[in-house]
């Protein structure tokens, strides 16, 4: 007998929680891709530009795989991908605005992209079959993002430029609280997923995340144990209140593609 | 920011000859691995490796493509 959950046996509340989780992961990956794409011609070197371009494609590919999981819930993902209002996007709020400098890109690569991967690891080890079959390849591809982010984070934290160090610390501080709140969500929706065995205990994911990024952010002068998760929470979307900037939402939805009759 | 030249070698299939396919500039070994994999992604490589150009020892001539050493 399979150990996977039969989605049709889940309660309405658990199905809704699973839907929220899938969309939040997918939206965060899609916005992570947007933020990488903003730098594919502006990163410090040609090689970094190429890496940013490739990572943007990775994130969008992963997002598409995640949105497709909605089919398991009997939902066509097309409307979710292309027809939502700006205030329905469920990405980690640290990605709501364009990243203003390279230090912020690196902070997001380590902290936000790292948190998505931690959440994906928990999802891939659970009892939702699509996550267990598709998650490992995404996690493997994320290894390159992690290597690049960690190396650049160390380089900037150790920079002789005071401005670089200050920008890195500021970006890190601005992203950590909301990212910790997102990864460690323990509201009724998250608890329903834990009880169904679809994800692991969010506290374990946060502990693992803290263990991984703690030594890095310490290089920027930030003591991770002293950073608390943000308190404001929108349980409808599973993220902090607020919404992404309008231009990025248009790009994520593909509004301009439709105007050109591409899709 | 000082960067290091790494030469990139790859083989498409097990048993193929390892071939020099290009080079990249990187901060260190970790970024070199990422840049090489992301830059030379036109094939589904069986194996890829990077070598700091400064580690290549010239054998029979000193004016070839590897002669310029490691630093950009």
Q: Which chain B residue lies closest to A142 (C-alpha atoms)?
A: B34
Q: Looking at beta carbons, which residues of chain B come within 8 Å of A44?
A: 1
Other CB atoms closer than 10 Å to residue A82's CB: what's the count?
Answer: 14
Q: By the 8 A CB rule, do A222 and A180 touch?
A: no
| Location of structure tokens 């979710």 | A80
Cβ atoms of residues A95 and A174 within 8 Å:
no
Give Cα separations from B61 to A105, A106, B51 (angstroms): 44, 42, 19
Q: Given a cut of 80, is residue B61 above it in pLDDT?
A: yes
pLDDT at B1: 67
**Per-residue model confidence (pLDDT) at position A256:** 83
Q: Which among B56, B60, B63 is positioned nearest to B23, based on CA atoms?
A: B56
Asked if A102 contacts A109 with a C-beta cutoff of 8 angstroms, the reply is no
- A47–B35 CB contact, under 8 Å: yes
Q: What is the pLDDT along chain A (263 residues), one digit of tens a residue?
A: 469 999 999 999 999 999 999 999 999 999 999 999 999 999 999 999 999 999 999 999 999 999 999 999 999 999 999 999 999 999 999 999 999 999 999 999 999 999 999 999 999 999 999 999 999 999 999 999 999 999 999 999 999 999 999 999 999 999 999 999 999 999 999 999 999 999 999 999 999 999 999 999 999 999 999 999 999 999 999 999 999 999 999 999 998 887 776 65
Optimal mutation site among A47, A49, A54, A58, interface B, most CBs of chain B within 10 A: A47
Q: What are the structural domains of chain B?
A: 4-55 (3.10.20)
CA A152 to chain centre: 19
For residue A191, what are the CA distances in angstroms to A115, A129, A197, A200, A202?
19, 19, 10, 10, 9
Alpha-carbon distance A181 to nearest alpha carbon in chain B (angstroms): 30
pLDDT value of residue A138:
96
* A252 touches A30 (CB < 8 A): yes
Measured between alpha carbons, how far is B72 from B70 in angstroms, rounded to an integer?
7
For each of the domains in chain A, give its residue range(s) and CATH number, in order of start: 10-259 (1.20.1260.10)
Model pTM above 0.95: no
Cβ atoms within 10 Å of A167's Cβ, excluding its own: 21
State the residue for tokens 């996007």. Answer: A89
Question: Could you tell me if A113 and A216 are in contact, meaning their C-beta atoms sit under 8 angstroms apart?
Answer: no
> What ipTM was assigned to the predicted interfaces of this complex?
0.77
Which pair of structure tokens corresponds to residue A4? 């996977």
Closest CA to A150 of A216, A56, A94, A215: A216
Q: Could you tell me if B25 lies within 8 Å of chain A, comparing CB atoms?
A: yes
Strand partners, B19: B10
Dist. CA A54–CA A49, nearest whole Å: 9
pLDDT at position B59 over 70: yes
Instruction: Tell me which chain A residue has its CA closest to the CA of residue B23.
Output: A47
Give the mutation candidate from A44, A45, A57, A110 for the B interface (greatest B CB count, under 10 A). A45
Residue B12 structure tokens: 């498409």
Task: State whether B34 and A44 contact (CB < 8 Å).
Answer: no
The average pLDDT across B27-39 equals 94
pLDDT score at B71: 45
Chain B residues touching A148 at Cβ < 8 A: 30-31, 34
CA–CA separation, A155 vs A162, rounded Å?
Answer: 13
On whether the CB atoms of residues A20 and A73 are closer than 8 A, the answer is no
Give the alpha-carbon dihedral of A15, A124, A92, A114, to 10 degrees: 170
Using 50, 70 and 90 to split pLDDT, how confident is the model at B68? low
Provide the pLDDT for residue A239. Answer: 97
Which residues touch A232 (CB under 8 Å, ≥6 apart)? A240, A241
Q: Do B31 and A152 touch (CB under 8 A)?
A: yes
pLDDT in the model for residue A260 = 77
Q: What is the largest CA-CA distance in chain B?
A: 39
Yes or no, beta carbons of B27 and A151 under 8 Å apart: yes
**B72 has a pLDDT exceeding 80:** no
State whether residue A228 is helix, strand or coil: coil
Chain A to chain B, count of Cβ pairs less than 8 Å apart?
44
Q: Using CB atoms within 10 A of its CB, is residue A211 exposed (0-12), middle (13-18) or buried (19+)? A: exposed
Taking CA–CA distances from B6, the nearest residue in chain A reads A47
Structure tokens at A233: 């929470």
Contact A47 B27 (CB under 8 A): no
Q: Tokens representing A128?
A: 């939702």
Mark yes or no for CB contact B30/A147 under 8 Å.
yes
Interface probe, candidates B3, B31, B45, chain A, greatest A C-beta count within 10 A: B31
């Amino acid at each position: 007998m399979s150990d996977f959950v039969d989605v049709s046996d889940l309660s309405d509340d658990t199905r809704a929680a699973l839907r929220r989780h899938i969309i939040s992961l997918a939206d965060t990956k899609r916005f992570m891709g947007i933020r990488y794409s903003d730098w594919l011609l502006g990163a410090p070197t040609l090689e970094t530009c190429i890496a940013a371009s490739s990572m943007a494609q990775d994130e969008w590919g992963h997002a598409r795989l995640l949105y497709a999981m909605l089919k398991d819930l009997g939902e066509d993902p097309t409307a979710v991908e292309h027809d939502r209002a700006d205030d329905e996007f469920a990405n980690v709020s640290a990605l709501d605005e364009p990243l203003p400098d390279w230090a912020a890109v690196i902070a997001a690569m380590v902290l936000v992209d790292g948190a998505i991967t931690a959440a994906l690891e928990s999802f891939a080890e659970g009892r939702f079959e699509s996550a267990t079959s598709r998650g490992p390849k995404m996690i493997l591809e994320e290894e390159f993002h992690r290597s690049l982010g960690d190396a650049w984070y160390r380089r900037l934290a150790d920079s002789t430029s005071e401005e670089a160090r200050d920008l890195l610390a500021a970006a890190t501080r601005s992203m950590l609280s909301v990212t910790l709140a997102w990864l460690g969500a323990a509201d009724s929706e998250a608890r329903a997923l834990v009880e169904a065995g679809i994800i692991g205990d969010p506290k374990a994911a946060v502990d693992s995340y803290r263990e991984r990024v703690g030594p890095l952010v310490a290089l920027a002068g930030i003591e991770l144990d002293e950073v608390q998760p943000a308190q404001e929470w929108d349980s409808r979307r599973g993220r902090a209140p607020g919404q992404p900037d309008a231009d990025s939402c248009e790009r994520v939805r593909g509004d301009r593609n439709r105007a050109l009759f591409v899709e | 920011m000082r960067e290091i030249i790494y030469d990139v070698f790859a083989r498409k299939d097990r048993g193929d000859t390892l071939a020099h396919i290009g080079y990249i500039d990187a901060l260190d070994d970790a970024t070199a691995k990422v840049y090489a994999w992301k830059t030379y992604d036109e094939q589904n490589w069986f194996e890829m490796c990077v070598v700091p150009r400064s580690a290549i020892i010239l054998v029979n001539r000193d004016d070839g493509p590897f002669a310029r050493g490691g630093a950009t």
